[in-house]
Amino acid sequence: MNNPGSWAHIYAPLRHAAWNGCTPTDLVFPFFVFCMGVAMYISHSKSNFELNWSTARKIIVRGLLIILIGWALSWYGMALRQFLRGADFVTAMWTYPVANIRYLGVFPRLGLVSLLGGLLLLTFKPKRILWVSAALMLIYSILQSVTNSFELTAQNMESIVDLKLLGDDHIYHMRNAAGERIGFDPEGVLSTITCVAHVLIGAWVGKLIMTEKDLWSKVTRALLAGAIMMILGFCLDYAYPINKAMWSASYILVTCGLASCILGILTWILDIRLPQLNEVKPTTTCAKVHHAVANNWYKFFETFGVNPLFIFCLSTWFVVTAARVRFEFHEKTYNLLGFWYSECLQPIFGDKGGSLVSALSLVLLMWAIGHILYRKKIYIKL
């Protein structure tokens, strides 16, 4: 999704929706935030959701560290680009990054959501977080209605607030249907409000399933909650369109609903169905192969699951570095990623196929590195 071989050749499901709507790509970030909320509930249940100096300090420090990691990666990319352009040390390492760094983005949003969501969860306790989440979504939706902020224009409330608080040089820019370049950050200040509501819904689903001891009850609760949220989200879409860039209430409900359903399905597969399969001893060769696959397929994904922050940072660092390092080949200038796509993959798999294989090859490279840590039981986390 983030690293195709060529941005000019991408399969439609691997693109973000231009404005309203939702593609499979638009599910990645909200699913991560949802899972963050579920994990947040499990983690804080160990301290009985007590808000004291110790728990507050951990939440604040962790949130700030995630924000700083995001800024550091962005700083590294800008500094490296300036160095390769021949800028002096002060300009590359300080002047240019300070003047152009994007304050918000994926990591800063995750840090803010972790910080604010954690404090709200401990302040209002799990039994009230659904109401807190609903209140945040209601406030944001009212702001959308009052300001008529449903289109990507310079008059959109998100754009106005981001420009006023952060400045034009420190926010993302998008092009609308008319081709106008608008200062609008999809991880902007106001939409962070609803993203906090999003993580709290994840914590609420975590409460639903973790307070049940019976596995079938866990599955039923996750599926029922997910179905209800999706229905509400699709109904709300008529008034407040599903929109990732604005992180609308309908977008939250639909993506949280789908994530909850998938969580329920995975709970059934891994905690109910898999143990049932293990009770049957395979006798034929085919049965043994099927048994081995059934017992090990999820471990591929587990490698990413135990070290998500490290792998995400490593992937970002690698791509930024590979994209900046340029060299000549057959009288053409390439960076490492461009060379891999143009000279190695595109001739074999075609434009879009090669672009997809390029992205998958990066995923496999990150998996290989992460799997070494996984096998050695090394878990890097904050």
Mean pLDDT, residues 171-175: 92
Q: What is the pLDDT of residue 292?
A: 74
Same domain flag for 128 and 219? yes
| 204 and 257 both lie in a single domain | yes
Pairwise CA distance, residues 160 & 162, whole Å? 6
Question: The tokens 């970002």 sit on which residue?
Answer: 316
pLDDT in tens, 133-150: 999 999 999 999 999 999
Q: Are residues 260 and 229 in the same domain?
A: yes
Task: Give the model confidence (pLDDT) of 248-274 as tens digits.
Answer: 999 999 999 999 999 999 999 999 988
DSSP 131-199: HHHHHHHHHHHHHHHHHT--SSSTTSHHHHHHHHHH-GGGS-EEE-TT--EEE--TT-TTHHHHHHHHH
How confident is the model over 4-51, as pLDDT tens digits? Answer: 999 999 999 999 998 999 999 999 999 999 999 999 999 999 999 999
- Say yes or no: 248 and 360 in one domain: no
Q: Is the pLDDT of residue 154 over 80?
A: yes
288: pLDDT strictly greater than 90: no
Q: Name the least confident of 74-88, 91-105, 291-305, 350-364.
A: 291-305
Q: Examine residue 14 and state whether it is found in any structural domain, yes or no.
A: no
Does residue 120 form part of some domain?
yes
**Beta pairing partners, 355:** none
Nearest to 119 by CA among 194, 204, 196: 196
CA dist., res. 13 & res. 11, Å (int): 6
CB atoms within 10 A of CB 306: 16
Both 275 and 305 in a single domain?
Answer: no
Name the range with the highest mean pLDDT among 66-75, 280-289, 328-337.
Answer: 66-75
Whether residues 136 and 245 share a domain: the answer is yes
User: What per-residue confidence (pLDDT) applies to 125?
Assistant: 93
**pLDDT surpassing 80 at residue 158:** yes
308-332: per-residue pLDDT in tens? 989 999 999 999 999 888 888 887 8
Q: pLDDT tier at 178 (50, 70, 90 boundaries)?
A: confident
pLDDT (tens digit per residue) in 332-359: 888 899 999 999 999 999 999 999 999 9
Same domain for 170 and 263: yes
Residue 353 to residues 295, 341, 350, Cα–Cα distance (Å): 31, 10, 5
What pLDDT does residue 50 have? 92
- If residue 345 lies in a helix (H) or strand (E), which one and from where to where? none
pLDDT at position 324 is 85
Q: Which domain holds residue 326?
A: 298-382
Indicate the SS3 state at residue 282: coil
The answer to the question of residue 284 being in a domain is no
In a domain, 292, yes or no: no
Q: Does 231 reside within a domain? A: yes
DSSP state of 326: E
- DSSP H/E element including 335: strand 332-335
Residue 280 has pLDDT above 80, yes or no: no
pLDDT at res. 330: 80
CA 247 from centroid of its chain's CA atoms: 13
Distance, in Å, from the CA atom of 235 to the CA atom of 257, rounded to the nearest integer, reads 13
In a domain, 369, yes or no: yes
Domain presence at residue 353: yes
Residues 341 and 382 in one domain: yes
Bridge partner list, 175: 181
Residue 245 has pLDDT above 80, yes or no: yes
User: Are 87 and 174 found together in one domain?
Assistant: yes
Is residue 11 assigned to a domain? Answer: no
Same domain as 326, residue 266: no
How many structural domains is the chain composed of?
A: 2
* Residues 129, 81 share a domain: yes
326 and 230 in a single domain? The answer is no
User: Is residue 289 predicted with pLDDT exceeding 80?
Assistant: no
